[in-house]
Amino acid sequence: MESTIQKNSQLVRSHAARLGFSFCGIAQAEFLEDEAPKLEAWLNKGYHGKMSYLENYFDKRLDPRLLVPGAKSVITLGYNYFPAQDLASNGNLKIAKYAYGEDYHFVVKDKLKELLAVLQSSIGAIEGRAFVDSAPVMERAWAQRAGTGWIGKNSLLLNKQMGSFFFLAELIVDLDLAYDTPVKDYCGTCTACMDACPTDAIPEPYVVDGSKCISYFTIELKEAIPNDVKGKFENWIFGCDICQDVCPWNRFSKPHQEKRFEPSEDLKKLSESDWKEITEEIFQQVFKKSAVKRTKLDGLQRNISFLK
């Protein structure tokens, strides 16, 4: 007879698939012992740049039981965002693929909340929290532990079936489930991501110097972009996909099926001159529900003018 743990685990996986998640893996909620020294070394080297929030909640980042008392399981889910059309291939100014449509925080969080609600109604009283890149959760470490992929040399999670163009999300719950086991690293001797990065933001395999990343400069950094990286952005004005575009595993990426991630006609029509002359009105119209709003208009204009 199937155990309750197995039955509940199958319930998690089947509902995750029904809601459109590309994969689902489960790991035991415990202290991330291996990650503690790595995180400390990364912070000590200043690789987080001006993202001082990454220094906060050190203990909570490493132990999900401090986020959800009594937590037993970390459920990792992946949600595909690979677009049917690469808007960066037209020689125009470029924004990262993840920002083409509606802000993923809302799209994926809606799905996660629905999954938690379904589990609570099916299984009974479950305490849990949903996370989408919004709290001190080391999502890639949990995704790796849950067997959904391995962490690549560009520090992103890679999945054999679909590459890396997906969002990671987690449900941390006080429910015993059947745990998955990690998969092996399939990067081999490949250094495509390291070789392609124009700002040398990957100084050694599996370590990214966040303070040199084009995504950091164009999104996180609120002050002037330093002149020593001028001419190196290859027309990226919001985020950057270079280390993913060159990754051989992304040849397996298939277009997503999420309507809310589709780029608007307004975005598709923006020419280089439109970007350079963008007004507050157009900015609000085109990026009303987009992650691009994070930079605000003046941040986007700063990024565009920096390319000159």
Alpha carbon of residue 284 to chain centroid: 24
Distance CA 124, CA 209 (A): 44
Instruction: For residues 118 and 79, give the distance between their C-alpha atoms in angstroms, rounded to a whole number.
Output: 18
DSSP calls for 21-83: -SEEEEEE----TTHHHHHHHHHHTTTTTT-GGGGS-HHHHH-GGGTSTT--EEEEEEEE---
Residue that has been written with the tokens 């941390």 in this structure: 172
| DSSP label of 163 | B
Residues acting as catalytic residues: 133
Rounded to whole angstroms, the Cα distance separating 198 from 94 reads: 15
Task: Give the Å distances, CA to CA, from 97 to 80, 82, 89, 178, 290.
Answer: 11, 7, 11, 34, 12
Residue count (the chain) = 308
Packing angle of the helix pair 4-18, 104-123 (nearest 10 deg): 140
**Which of 79, 208, 205, 75 is closest to 145 using CA atoms?**
75
